[in-house]
Amino acid sequence: MHVVVSRVSAVGRAVLPHHPAQAIAAGFGVAIVVGTLVLMLPIAKTGAGGANLLEALFTATSAVCVTGLAIVDTATYWTPFGQVVILALIQIGGLGIMSFASLLGVLMARRLGLKSRIQAAAETKSTGFGDVRSVLLGVLRITVATELIVALLLTLRFAVGLGNPWGHSLWLGFFHSISAFNNAGFALFSDNLMGYVGDPWICLPIAAAIIVGGVGFPVLFELGRHYRRPLHWTMNTKLVLYGTVGLLAGGTAFICALEWSNPKTLGVLSTADKLLAGFFQSVITRTAGFNSVDIGQMDPATWLGMDVLMFIGGGPAGTAGGLKITTFAVLFFILLTEVQGGTAVNIFGKRLSRAVHRQAITIVLLAVALIIGSTMVLMLMTDFGLDRLLFETISAFATVGLSTGITASLPPAGQLMLVFLMFIGRLGPVTLASALALRTRPMMYEFPKERPLIG
- Give the pLDDT confidence of 43-82 residue by residue, as tens digits: 999 998 999 999 999 999 999 999 999 999 999 999 999 9
Percent of the chain with pLDDT over 90: 60
What pLDDT is stored for residue 114 in this prediction? 53
Higher confidence at residue 123 or residue 135?
A: 135
Number of C-beta neighbours around residue 304 at 10 A: 13
Higher confidence at residue 131 or residue 16?
A: 131
What pLDDT is stored for residue 11 in this prediction? 39
What pLDDT is stored for residue 21 in this prediction? 64
DSSP 95-133: H-HHHHHHHHHHHHHS---HHHHHHHHHHHT-S-GGGHH
pLDDT digits (tens, 9 = 90+) for 268-317: 999 999 999 999 999 999 888 899 999 999 999 999 999 999 999 998 87
What pLDDT is stored for residue 432 in this prediction? 57
DSSP 148-179: HHHHHHHHHIIIIIT---HHHHHHHHHHHHHH
In a domain, 452, yes or no: no
What pLDDT is stored for residue 45 in this prediction? 96
Average pLDDT, the chain: 86
In a domain, 412, yes or no: yes
In a domain, 438, yes or no: no
For residue 293, is it left (φ>0), alpha (ψ between -120 and 50) or beta?
Answer: beta
Which run of H or of E encompasses 350? strand 350-351
Is the pLDDT at 257 greater than 90? The verdict is yes
Cα distance from N-terminal residue to C-terminal residue, the chain: 67
CA 196 from chain center: how many Å?
23
In a domain, 2, yes or no: no
- At 160, the pLDDT band (50, 70, 90 cuts) reads very high
What pLDDT is stored for residue 9 in this prediction? 39
Higher confidence at residue 254 or residue 118?
A: 254
Q: Provide the domain count of the chain.
A: 1
Domain that includes residue 208, residue range: 16-433
| Pair 316, 236: CB distance under 8 Å | yes
Number of C-beta neighbours around residue 416 at 10 A: 15
| Pair 430, 415: CB distance under 8 Å | no
CA distances 126 to 120, 198, 229, Å, are 8, 40, 22
Higher confidence at residue 274 or residue 114?
A: 274
| Pair 123, 98: CB distance under 8 Å | yes
Whole-number Å distance between alpha carbons of 116 and 308? 36
In a domain, 448, yes or no: no
Residue 72 CB-density burial (10 A; 0-12 exposed, 13-18 middle, 19+ buried): middle
In a domain, 157, yes or no: yes
pLDDT mean over 161-169: 95
Q: What is the pTM of this model?
A: 0.87
In a domain, 445, yes or no: no
pLDDT mean over 421-442: 67
Higher confidence at residue 124 or residue 447?
A: 447
Please compute Rg for the chain using Cα positions.
22
In a domain, 10, yes or no: no
Is the pLDDT at 441 greater than 80? The verdict is no
Coil, strand or helix at 380 = helix
Residue 199 CB-density burial (10 A; 0-12 exposed, 13-18 middle, 19+ buried): middle
SS3 content of the chain, % helix, strand, coil (to 5): 70, 0, 30
Whole-number Å distance between alpha carbons of 289 and 325? 18
Higher confidence at residue 356 or residue 45?
A: 45
Is the pLDDT at 35 greater than 90? The verdict is yes
Q: What angle do CA 166, 167, 168 make, to 5 degrees?
A: 95
Which range, of 77-81, 312-316, 320-324, 442-446, averages the lowest pLDDT? Answer: 442-446
Query: Which residues, in sequence order, are bridge partners of residue 351?
Result: 346
DSSP 174-208: HHHHHHHHTT----SSTTTTGGGTT-HHHHHHHHH
For the chain, the residue count is 455
DSSP state of 384: -
What pLDDT is stored for residue 24 in this prediction? 75
Percent of the chain with pLDDT over 70: 84
